């Protein structure tokens, strides 16, 4: 049996003393795209941030195993180097720092941690060109400062591009569809689909079903009040889109 990418067991986590995750359990197998849906305030973004190790998010109990190792014992940068990637909901601007330079620093930091040789500018540029081509995106973002002055769509496209270069084993997409028009959404979704592989697991956090029209998930999990309360296939997402979350609440109450 192949090892799961991610096994979350009975995870409790809080932010500023407020309990947000209340016993969340979730498994992601290699090659699986798991969609996490749920109403506002259910804990979707908290889950994404806890997995990435964002400071300020406290794990109170439970365990997270990533490729068999204890993810929670690692610092944020160590998690990244181990192959955990978070596509941010709001990618931050870093003025004056060239996008290409930033990405090369990131890739080389990750390669160093794996005892692999660092890529020089030429080798890196070659890699970048190949990835751009595979994702059918233009290189206009490369020469600008990290996210500086990027439109919403450009920022999300840049996240997917970074993902393509860094080649994570676990990619977490935090509301990647928010604020995108349909064209931008399609570019991002196509990029993600391009990166789907039997080696890689995805956790796609989204509020709306529409992203899942383009990135068809293998599993859909409903997150409510800090727990996964229902799991199913992409049909579940369609039903949620039509009927909302009330029926699940009723089911739970029954």
Partner 1 sequence: MATENQHIKELVKRRYEPGFFTDIESDTIAPGLSEDVVRFISEKKNEPGWMTEWRLKAFALWQNMPTPKWAHVHYPEIDFQAISYYSAPKSGAKYESWDEVDPKLIETYDKLGVPLHERARLAGVAVDAVFDSVSVGTTFRKELAEAGVIFCSMSEAIQDHPELVRKYLGSVVPQGDNFYAALNSAVFSDGSFVLIPKGVRCPMELSTYFRINELNTGQFERTLIIAEEDSHVSYLEGCTAPMRDENQLHAAVVELVALDRAQIKYSTVQNWYPGDEHGKGGIYNFVTKRGDCRGERSKISWTQVETGSAVTWKYPSCILRGDHSSGEFYSVALTHNFQQADTGTKMVHLGKNTRSHIISKGISAGRGQNAYRGLVQVNKKADNARNFTQCDSLLIGDRCGAHTFPYIEAKNATAQIEHEASTSKISDDQLFYCLQRGISEEDAVSMIVDGFCKEVFKELPMEFAVEAKKLLEVSLEGAVG
Q: What is the 3 state secondary structure string of the chain?
A: CCCCCEEEEEEEEEECCEEEEEEEEEEECCCCEEEEECCCCCCHHHHHHHHHCCCCEEEEEEEEEECCEEHHHCCHHHHHHCCEEEECCCCCCEEEEEHHHHHHHHHHHHHHHCCCCCCCHHHHHHHHHHHHHHHCCCHHHCCCEECCCCCHHHHHHHHHHHHHHHCCCEEEEECCCCCCCHHHHHHHHHHHHHHCCCCCEEEEEECCCHHHHHCCCCEEEEEECCEEEEEECHHHHHHHHHHCCHHHHHHHHC
Which of the residues 165 through 204 are near partner 1 (CB under 8 A)? 166
**Which residue(s) pair with 231 in the sheet?**
221
Binding of partner 1 by 74 (CB under 8 A): no
Q: Which of 1, 2, 18, 55 binds partner 1 (CB under 8 A)?
A: 55
Asked if 54 touches partner 1 (CB under 8 A), the answer is yes
Q: Determine the size of the site formed for partner 1 (CB under 8 A).
A: 32
Closer CB to partner 1, 24 or 81, in the complex:
81
Q: Give the x-and-dash track for 209-248 against partner 1 (CB under 8 A).
A: ----------------------------------------
Burial string for 176-189 (b: 16+ CB within 10 Å, else e) reads bbeebeeebbebbb
Task: List the x/- string, 130-149, binding to partner 1 by CB under 8 A.
Answer: ---------------x----
Give min distance, CB of 230 to partner 1, in A.
30
Shortest approach of partner 1 to residue 192 CB, angstroms? 18
Residue whose entry in the numeric block shows the structure tokens 């990131």: 106
Q: Which is nearer to partner 1, 164 or 224 (CB)?
A: 164
Of 89 and 206, the one with the shorter C-beta distance to partner 1 is 89
CA dist 83 → 154, 169, 199 (Å) = 24, 5, 11
Tell which one of 19, 113, 193, 233 touches partner 1 (CB under 8 A): 113
**Among positions 46, 110, 176, 206, the unique one binding partner 1 when judged by CB under 8 A:** 110
Binding of partner 1 at residue 92 (CB under 8 A)? yes
Binding partner 1 by CB under 8 A: which of 19, 61, 109, 139? 109
Of 37 and 159, nearer to partner 1 (C-beta) is 159
Among positions 4, 29, 102, 169, the unique one binding partner 1 when judged by CB under 8 A: 102
> What is the spatial distance between Cα 1 and Cα 198, in angstroms, rounded to a whole number?
14
Work out how close the CB of 232 gets to partner 1 at its nearest, in angstroms, rounded to a whole number.
30
Residues that bind partner 1 (CB under 8 A): 52-56, 75-77, 79-81, 85-86, 88, 90-92, 94-97, 102-103, 105-107, 109-110, 113, 145, 162, 166
């Amino acid at each position: 049996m192949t090892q799961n990418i991610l096994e979350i067991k009975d995870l409790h986590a809080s932010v500023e003393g407020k309990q947000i995750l209340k016993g969340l359990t979730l498994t992601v197998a290699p090659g699986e795209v798991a969609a996490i849906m749920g109403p506002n305030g259910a804990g979707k973004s908290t889950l994404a941030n806890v997995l990435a190790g964002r400071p300020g998010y406290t794990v109170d109990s439970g365990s997270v195993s990533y490729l068999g190792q204890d993810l929670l014992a690692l610092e944020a940068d160590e998690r990244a180097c181990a192959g955990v990637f978070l596509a941010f909901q709001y990618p931050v601007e870093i003025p004056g720092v060239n996008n290409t330079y930033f990405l090369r620093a990131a890739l080389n930091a990750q390669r160093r941690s794996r005892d692999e040789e660092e890529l020089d500018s030429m080798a890196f540029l070659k890699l970048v060109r190949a990835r751009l081509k595979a994702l059918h995106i233009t290189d206009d973002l490369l020469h600008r400062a990290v996210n500086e002055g990027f439109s919403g769509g450009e920022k999300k496209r840049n996240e997917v591009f970074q993902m393509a270069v860094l080649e994570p084993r676990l990619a977490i997409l935090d509301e990647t569809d928010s604020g995108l028009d349909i064209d931008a959404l399609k570019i991002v979704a196509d990029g993600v689909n391009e990166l789907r592989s039997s080696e890689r697991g995805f956790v796609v956090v989204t509020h709306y079903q529409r992203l899942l029209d383009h990135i068809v998930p293998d599993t859909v999990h409903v997150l409510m009040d800090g727990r996964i309360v229902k799991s199913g296939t992409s049909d579940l997402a369609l039903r949620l889109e039509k009927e909302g979350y009330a029926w699940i609440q009723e089911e739970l109450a029954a």
